[in-house]
Chain A
Amino acid sequence: MALVLTEEQSMLRDSARGLISDKAPVSHLRQLRDSKDETGFSRELWKIFAEMGFSGLLVPEQYGGSGLGAVEAGIVMEEIGRTLMPSPFLATSVLAASALLRGGSEAQKAQHLPGIADGSLLAALAVDEGAKHRPLQTNMQAVRSGNGFRLNGDKALVVDGHTAGLLIVAARTAGSAGEKNGVTLFLVDPKAKGIATERTIMVDSHNAARIVFDNVEVDADSVLGEVDQGYPLLETVLNVGRGAVASEMVGLSEEVFGRTVAYLKERKQFGKAIGEFQALQHRAAQLYIDIEITRAAVLKALQALDADAANAASAVSVAKARAGTTATLAVQEGVQMHGGMGMTDQFDIGFFMKRARVCQELFGDSNFHADQLARAKGY
């Protein structure tokens, strides 16, 4: 398959870009931050996302969605990355939809997917427990109890955790931390007894939560996929999410870069545009090249996910690792080349730097993914 967008995909990009740049420029995030908005995103905008078919992008048509794939999800995420729009798209439309689609029973799909597609159901994936993303170290306990399970443990960096109407939780039904066997995914009602959710305001002003599970009872029907065998499903879902976050970082990097190059052409010192200085020209050129190469790696990963998601892990690790280092470089160069203005809250560049830091950590940073690749290659 050619590593360029098809005509349909280009049209999707144009319509996503039109909507997002119009309704949710960076000032939209700034406004949500400054007003300490309870929800952390615009429900009105989410309704429009649903009307345009974005919320159900990955949901099959029989459940009311568009039945598209990872490449299309990446296209929308890239546009989200350009303006840093806070949106349930990642947690609900990418992660939860993928989990239900790939692991759900017919009943589970029929119950939840239509709500994702029409925008009425928000969902969140609860995986991380420690300071770093280590899904294999999942240690939250799910002990058999009556007809179901009893959950105990803490989750962190649950994107949209405080607004979700459905939680997808990774817990351990057997084995111990570090083992693939024994991980199970559960569908949990966040209003269930014993759940305490703390919204954590993060550096990037996007949604995240810590959730404590204290003897939370769930029934056997809440198991997503198979008991003890949830790890491959979790990894596949995470890989779709990683591809999506990598796309967000490509959009973010390109936007920062575009703003920075424009500034190099406009800002004058020593009687000329600072973009005339070779020291800055070469760094700008290096960053451009870095972004272009990362863009190709990310598209490659998204195509691999659509072709065979179970075997896309290496391509996804390459994409997420690259996107993390590229975005980190882009925002650092962006602030540095904007000089003192880049340090001010009034300028938008700082928002990109903050979001890039969070995107790095989401579902494994560059180090994690380079290490995954090395392990896969046996060294």
Chain B
Amino acid sequence: MADLEKFRSETRAWLEQNCPPEMRKPMTSESDTFWGGRNAKFSSEAQRVWFERMRDKGWTVPHWPKEYGGGGLDGEEAKIVRQEMAAIGARQPLTSFGISMLGPALLKYGTEAQKREHLPKITAGLIRWCQGYSEPNAGSDLASLQTRAESDGDDFIINGQKIWTSYANYADWIFCLVRTDPAAKKHDGISFILFDMASKGVSTKPILLISGYSPFCETFFDNVRVPKSHVVGTINRGWDVAKYLLQHERAMISGMGERGVGRPLGQIAADSIGADEQGRLDDAVLRSQIATFEVDEAALAAAAERAVDLAKAGQAHPAFSSAMKYYGTELNKRRYEILMSAGGIDALEWESERSRGGARPRAWLRTKANSIEGGTSEVMLGIVAKRILDLPGA
């Protein structure tokens, strides 16, 4: 315990000295997130400095092993880093699907050569990854995917189409589910493979969403040649890797529901709506919605903390991330419904400078995808019913 307290005070001091003041302010636009990659651009000098200092300390991913560019911290230490960063409102220095999705899968299923090849480039922000999972006819029923990988000597030749590929147009590499055995049962003929998005035959097309943004793409593969050594895990056993990765994806998405930083919702609403003589929000019904929301938000934060602690203690149910994903995304949708109601007319402006280009309504519309992407709320409830509650026929 004494060691941990020492670690905490050292961490606090280091962050105090190294996190630029600009990087402690709440993020207000998409460019505040640094994704890394071959074409990465920093939106400010402070963003560059913060990223490089954290990278050099191994703290873009504090809990990964040092030999792969991580910080080599154990669970307790990594929790302290998170807590101390949260305490000063420090932004994530690097956001990436390599960290939140591919990395955990590679650490579990990758060969040593694959880990050494890919993980250091993730922690150093050199390669930006995207996820090739969904297809036009494989959404909730993901395992029915049809993108084919046909054997040709030491390579696979890949043909097919993915959809809802987040930031495929900016990504350097893709981790992709492909069908390597069309004759097998649907879960048994899938492989998990990695390849360069600059490969011949790969093309992307952004999809315009209701928010006016295009975070997702259609991604096409036309005779893309990929070495068989790029398969992670066993050929035709990719579904195991896919499911494991989904647990991490769901945990990441559920985290969207607990962004308790920044100003409390009640105060944001009071600024816009005003207060009565007793200082209470001048919309009694909205006030009660916000209060109930904040109860649930605090409870979710405790549950997220507990989920990490349970995992550390070896007591976690592997399907629990589905429970957290369900609750976190539904909560985030509630947050934005409240924010829209609190903002009233001001939250309707779509293009003005004053509204930062309609940041709030666009973010509100974006949250509607939370309960769809990474497995719909209904799929999550089905997984809980089947794998945790063991209900028949689920």
Contacts and interface: CB of A to CB of B under 8 A. Distances in A.
B389 A261 contact: yes
A278 B382 CA distance: 8
Contact of A3 (B302, B320, B391): B302
Contacts of B389: 261, 281, 284-285, 288
Interface in B55-104: none
B323 A292 contact: yes
Q: Per DSSP, are chain B's interface residues mostly helix, strand or loop, or mixed?
A: helix
B141 interface: no
Interface string A284-297: 11101100111111
A310 interface: no
Contacts of A272: 392-393
A261 B280 CA distance: 42
B291 to A, nearest CB: 4
Contact of B299 (A273, A282, A294, A371): A294
Interface string A77-106: 000000000000000000000000000000
Given A2-B313, A265-B391, A293-B299, A374 B306 contact: no
A328 B320 CA distance: 23
Contacts of B313: 2, 4
B256 to A, nearest CB: 15
A295 B288 CA distance: 23
A282 B270 contact: no
Interface in B273-316: 275, 279-281, 287-288, 290-292, 294-296, 298-300, 302-303, 305-306, 309-310, 312-313, 315
Contacts of B388: 285, 288
Given A370-B291, A374-B291, A377-B266, A322 B296 contact: yes
Contacts of A299: 302, 306
A37 to B, nearest CB: 37
B323 A289 contact: yes
Interface in B236-292: 264, 266-267, 269-270, 275, 279-281, 287-288, 290-292
B385 interface: yes
Contacts of A378: 264, 266-267, 270, 279
Contacts of A379: 264, 266-267, 269-270, 275, 279-281, 287, 290
A275 interface: yes
B287 A288 contact: no
Contacts of B281: 374, 379
Contact of B384 (A2, A289, A367, A374): A289
B155 to A, nearest CB: 43
Nearest to A370: B291
Contacts of A284: 385, 389, 391
Contacts of B264: 377-379
Given A273-B392, A281-B381, A374-B287, A318 B267 contact: no
A300 interface: yes
B391 A264 contact: yes
Contacts of A367: 288
B275 A281 contact: no
B339 to A, nearest CB: 14
A276 B303 CA distance: 28
Contact of A292 (B280, B288, B303, B380): B303
Contacts of B299: 293-294, 296-297, 318-319, 322
A1 B290 CA distance: 29
Contacts of A318: 295, 298-299, 302
Interface string B360-394: 00000000000000000010111011001111111
A215 to B, nearest CB: 36
Contact of B295 (A265, A278, A373, A375): A373
Contacts of A297: 298-299, 302-303
A206 to B, nearest CB: 26
Contacts, number: 145
B309 A374 contact: no
A41 B303 CA distance: 35
A71 interface: no
| Interface size band for A | 35 or more
B326 interface: yes
Contacts of B320: 292
B309 A2 contact: yes
Contacts of A374: 266, 280-281, 287, 290-291, 294
Nearest to B386: A281
Contacts of B270: 378-379
B269 A275 contact: no
A239 B337 CA distance: 32
A369 interface: yes
A288 B384 contact: yes
A366 B292 CA distance: 9
Contacts of B279: 378-379
Given A289-B384, A292-B323, 7 more contacts: A2-B313, A275-B392, A282-B385, A284-B389, A289-B326, A289-B327, A379-B281
Interface of B: 264, 266-267, 269-270, 275, 279-281, 287-288, 290-292, 294-296, 298-300, 302-303, 305-306, 309-310, 312-313, 315, 320, 323, 326-327, 378, 380-382, 384-385, 388-394
28 contacts: A2-B309, A2-B312, A3-B306, A3-B310, A264-B391, A265-B390, A265-B391, A281-B381, A281-B385, A282-B378, A284-B389, A284-B391, A293-B296, A293-B300, A295-B306, A317-B295, A318-B295, A322-B299, A366-B295, A377-B264, A377-B266, A377-B294, A378-B264, A378-B267, A379-B264, A379-B266, A379-B275, A379-B280
